[in-house]
Chain A
Amino acid sequence: MADTQEPKTDAKICGMGHSMKRKEDPRFIRGQGRYVDDIVLPGMLYMDIVRSPFAHAKINKIDTAKALKVPGVLAVIDGPTLAKYNLHWMPTLSADTQMVLPIDEVMYQSQEVCAVIATSRYAAADGVDAVEVDYEPLPVMVDPFESLKPGAPVLRKDKKDKKDNLAFHWEAGDRAATDKAFASADVVVAEDIYLPRIHVASMETCGCVADFNPAEGKLTVYMTTQAPHAVRTVVALVAGHVGLSEEKIRIVSPDIGGGFGGKVPVYPGYVIAIAASVVIGKPVKWIEDRMENLQADSFARDYHMHTEIASKKDGTMIGLRIKTIADHGYTNASANPSKFPAGLFSICTGSYDFKQAFCEVDAAYTHKPPGGVAYRCSFRVTEAVHAVERIADVLAQKLGMDPAEIRMKNFIPKEKFPYKSVLGWEYDSGDYAPALRKAMDLVGYEALRKEQAEKRARGELMGIGVCSFVEIVGAGPSKQFDILGLKMFDSAEIRVHPTGKAIVRLGTKSQGQGHETTYAQIVAEELGIPAANVQVEEGDTDTAPYGLGTYASRSTPTSGAAAAMAARKLRDKAKKLAAHLLECSPDDLVWEPGKFSVKGSPQRSKTIQDCVFAAYTNYPQGMEPGFEASWYYDPPNLTFPFGSYIAVVDIDRGTGMVKVRRFVAIDDCGNIINPMIVEGQIHGGLTQGLAPALFEEMNYDENGNNQNGSFMDYLLPTAVETPAWEVGRTITPSPHHPLGAKGVAESPTVGAPPAIANAVVDALSHLGVTHVDIPITPEKVWKILKEKGAAE
């Protein structure tokens, strides 16, 4: 295990390990980013959406008379209009079905009811205000437990034979063997752990400009999407019957102001805008406002996890059992791989060598917006890790063991890697104890425990929380992973021009992760062409090779590997060209970054630029001219980054307010491409972990009314609430990835909430508290203190 990585290239070539300043920055700092709402096309119209104020209601009538009289309003599109083209329902990414616009019934508050098309943004807003809808409110089901009870009213009356509200049942592990382990255990502890709904709330909301050109029969959609190719194929499949053919569909994902999973789903707004543009023959822009984004777009979490752990009395963990009720909203529109409707939840055995484990998930339909995995969660890994890391602490508390000690005792030892978990994952590499030790050293663990004891004696509340997580990213190998049947490979296409400059196109799509820099560094690493001379493009389906996009930390594991493999193919070609130029055998050549030289005669050399030029001007007979290669990478396995985080909190006994005094994060994502970018991702991910831990939740009252539908009540931390994150690393390369690299950017969102929750419980454990659900609001803490007689 190392924690430094010496670059193999110099600063000019700037390959892996260099903290290269970002190549995409120049346009952003000048305000010249090109986001979807910046796009203006000749004749462009504007679309705005009328949304249901009710969570469940019959639509008796939509009266558009007043709206159509508003100056600038051209049309109102409703469900019956779309039904003429069979576009009023569409498939979801989880192969369920979702309304684009309703015919007669709405199923969640803020559901799209109809859309106004107008000549200006302001006229469209006036049009929406003028539409009159006659609703008849119907009974609302918002409790997933009630929804799954026998005899509950069936929500999905559109599904002919459906007699219940179970969206799916999924399980992993050996139930009987796990039950046996529990029955024989010395100690069993259980907690009900709820992760409430949250919303990714990227700073840019969702939107598109749909531009159908009738003369060419071509549809171009500029769209906030993390997966442009998948969208193109879905549009072709869904709208093929109205004449849209995949080679005549172009999805362009321009600059995206944050995705985090929220820009993976195909929202009804996109489909309506596309339909409007096709019918009208003009570009149609739709940009949702923030309240629409929060109230209607894909959410994350909403998992009720009954979590149990069994152990020997010395703290050896012997079994894990989790039963989850998942609230999916009115349809399963989560973007999970098809064989994993509960995502990668079976990573819940975490960093520990469990011999037995069993987990099951029952998903319920309710009258809420659909979704489930849109918030930097790696397909439910946030849920899985929260459960195991909380229950590990509950166990430690029961046994009177230190939380770091119980983890060290149960870590999968380094010698066992590649490690086959009892729930079927093969972890590629890991070395957990040094990461935890490093975190403990950085935070000063032993001294903090001493301080805690002293403070406790004085009645002051201070807590230290540990979280040691394993992540699972890079979906994924074709034998297990597909979305709607599309396998989850990814791609890179490299073309180098005669003067030695390159362009790389990939099937992923950055929304701020710095791909224009990191992929250039990978090519620089493998080919020795300076990263500054490598142009990176993503997001235009007319030019980029097919890929499944960027989410779930998959870019480095898939397209990063593809870029490396394509570059190596080119390096092989370059070797042959060098041999040709040097009139020797390729076997006589040695490679150093950017140059081939003859073994023993280093002065006889050719640069990569010489080789590239030769590919156009002087190549051996029989060799294909040009210097271009592509690679579609089907990963052999996922990658398993990991880390240990330690949070230190102080609690105000008067108000219940929790302040994160310090937070140390040690992350291991294998070999690192750009340390500066990785560190930035960690800072951002930790902040999106702090947010659900202390601030964010999306609640509904018993009538399905959203309680946190704007930034007034959906609380994003500012720079004042956010601590100064302290980060460090260990480096345990992936044995199967061509660069030894793993994904990383979701690790902090996975690891931070349990660390903070564990710290708060730790601060209150002497009062007998074993668990607090996040978000840990001041009132929640204050209520506990009051109950325990410890409030000011």
Chain B
Amino acid sequence: MIPSQFDYHAPSTLPEALKLLTQYGDSAKVLSGGQSLLPLLKLRLGAAGHLIDIGRIPGLDQIREEGGTLRIGGLVREAALERSEVVRAKYPILLDTASVIADPLVRNRATVGGNLAHGDPGNDHPATMLALGASVVAHGPKGERVIPIDKFFVGLFTTALQPDEILTEIRIPAPGPRSGGAYVKLERKVGDYATAGAAVQLSLGGGVVEKIGIALTNAGPTPVRVAAAEARLRGKKPDAAGIAAAAAMAGEAAQPSADRRGSVEYKKNMARVLTARAIQKALERAGGR
């Protein structure tokens, strides 16, 4: 319940924060919402000699849609995402996702940036961002770089972020007309990590699925993008057989570990069931069924 001792820094600018990350190297950890990091420290499961709290850096908590891109600052709290008008109107998949992360109290602190940067395949945003084809902006000592989401999740608790970089923004291409997305999560109770979770974002055109992204939560050491399932539906009319086939592929692609949430067999089947449901919901929202 009580963390080991550490040093705490609260830089008020991004350059200051980056300087501290460089200075303390391996023993530094970024503190964003703290809802993943602090629980680990309290159980003395992760060591951190220096906490770099980026929560006081201004300008990282904005949600803006401009030039065909939704820009979410790294420090945007999940609760703010839930309340955002543009998210509610145009990105229901993000609302689906934010509203099932942990519980409402945790969402008042947890940040979207932290949810991605932690590299936990059990977190909910990674699959959604994969389905949305998002990109992540990282700031380091050498400046800013944009990382496509497909390259972002490298391994268990490992992202493409370098130790001296901070995730400052997430960029999501604005969906076209006749778009729809949904995130469906199976959890044992409110507040739990996903037993299985499926994110689907698609757009329709000319009676067929034009664009589609399908990704899974807690289905392996990183979030799983199911390219085969996408290919099965892309360019085709979204009929029951197609949806079932794509969902089955998602079940195949899932490589979950057995734990208290379920056996491998159950979780793979739930990936299938939830993918089908997410596709159906996304189609409904796209006005396509």
Contacts and interface: CB of A to CB of B under 8 A. Distances in A.
Do A and B touch, yes or no (CB under 8 Å, in the complex)?
yes
B273 A792 contact: yes
Interface in B264-286: 266, 269-270, 273, 277
Interface string B241-281: 00000000000000000001011001001100100010000
Contacts of A74: none
A655 B189 contact: no
B182 to A, nearest CB: 15
B188 interface: yes
A122 B2 CA distance: 7
A290 B5 CA distance: 21
B69 to A, nearest CB: 35
A469 interface: no
B110 interface: no
A126 B190 contact: no
- Most chain A beta carbons < 10 A, residue from B1, B103, B186, B277: B1
B4 A126 contact: yes
Contact of A715 (B2, B4, B188, B273): B188
Given A718-B191, A792-B273, A655 B260 contact: no
A193 to B, nearest CB: 23
Interface string B1-22: 1101100000000000000000
A708 B188 CA distance: 13
B2 A718 contact: no
- Most chain A beta carbons < 10 A, residue from B5, B191, B277: B191
A432 interface: no
Nearest to B269: A782
Contacts of A778: 186, 188, 195, 262
A279 interface: no
Interface string A686-698: 0000000001000
B151 interface: no
Nearest to A718: B190
Contact of B190 (A125, A289, A720, A792): A720
Contact of B266 (A713, A716, A779): A779
Given A718-B103, A779-B262, A779-B266, A129 B4 contact: yes
B273 A654 contact: yes
B145 interface: no
Given A121-B2, A655-B273, A718-B103, A783 B191 contact: no
Contacts of A126: 2, 4-5
A655 B270 contact: yes
A695 B192 CA distance: 12
A657 B2 CA distance: 36
Nearest to B259: A713
A60 interface: no
B189 A782 contact: no
Given A121-B2, A125-B2, A708-B260, A721 B190 contact: yes
A761 B254 CA distance: 31
Contact of A717 (B2, B189, B260, B262): B189
Contacts of B188: 695, 715, 777-778
Given A122-B2, A655-B270, A721 B189 contact: yes
A543 interface: no
B64 interface: no
Interface string B188-203: 1111100100000000
- Report the contact-size class of chain A (Cβ under 8 Å from the partner): 20 to 34
Contacts of B270: 655
A779 B188 CA distance: 10
Interface string A646-657: 000000001101
Contacts of A129: 4, 44
Contacts of B5: 126
A265 B260 CA distance: 29
Interface in A125-140: 125-126, 129
B80 to A, nearest CB: 22
Interface in A689-712: 695, 707-708, 712
Contact of B1 (A125, A655, A715): A125
B190 A655 contact: no
A128 to B, nearest CB: 10
Nearest to A121: B2
A708 B259 CA distance: 11
Contacts of B262: 778-779
A275 to B, nearest CB: 24
A289 B39 CA distance: 14
Contacts of A777: 188
Interface in A776-792: 777-779, 782-783, 786, 791-792
Contact of A783 (B1, B4, B190, B266): B266
A782 B1 contact: no
Interface string A107-123: 00000000000000110
A715 B277 contact: no
A781 B4 CA distance: 43
A270 B270 CA distance: 46
Contacts of B195: 778
Contacts of A655: 186, 270, 273
Interface string B88-121: 0000000000000001000000000000000000
Interface string A283-299: 00000011000000000
Nearest to A699: B260
A782 B266 contact: yes
Contacts of A721: 189-190
B209 to A, nearest CB: 22
B100 to A, nearest CB: 11
B256 to A, nearest CB: 12
Interface string A458-476: 0000000000000000000
A782 B5 CA distance: 46
Contacts of A792: 273
Contacts of B186: 655, 657, 778
A654 B277 contact: yes
A584 B269 CA distance: 86
A782 to B, nearest CB: 6
Contacts of B1: 125, 289-290
A716 B273 CA distance: 26
- Most chain B beta carbons < 10 A, residue from A654, A716, A783: A654
Interface string A437-469: 000000000000000000000000000000000
Nearest to B273: A654
A783 B267 CA distance: 12
Interface in B164-222: 186, 188-192, 195
Contacts of B44: 129
Contacts of B273: 654-655, 792
B103 to A, nearest CB: 7
B193 to A, nearest CB: 8
B228 to A, nearest CB: 21
Contacts of A783: 266
- Most chain B beta carbons < 10 A, residue from A707, A708, A713, A717: A713
Nearest to A125: B2
A657 B263 CA distance: 15
A720 B192 CA distance: 13
Interface of A: 121-122, 125-126, 129, 289-290, 654-655, 657, 695, 707-708, 712-713, 715-718, 720-721, 777-779, 782-783, 786, 791-792
25 contacts: A121-B2, A122-B2, A125-B1, A126-B2, A126-B4, A126-B5, A129-B44, A289-B1, A290-B1, A654-B277, A655-B186, A695-B189, A715-B189, A715-B192, A718-B103, A718-B189, A718-B190, A718-B191, A720-B190, A777-B188, A778-B186, A778-B195, A782-B269, A786-B269, A791-B269
- The 10 A-B residue pairs whose C-beta atoms are closest, nearest first, are A125-B2, A654-B273, A289-B1, A779-B266, A713-B260, A720-B190, A718-B190, A779-B262, A721-B189, A715-B189
Interface of B: 1-2, 4-5, 44, 103, 186, 188-192, 195, 260, 262-263, 266, 269-270, 273, 277
Given A126-B2, A716-B189, A786-B269, 4 more contacts: A718-B103, A779-B263, A779-B266, A783-B266
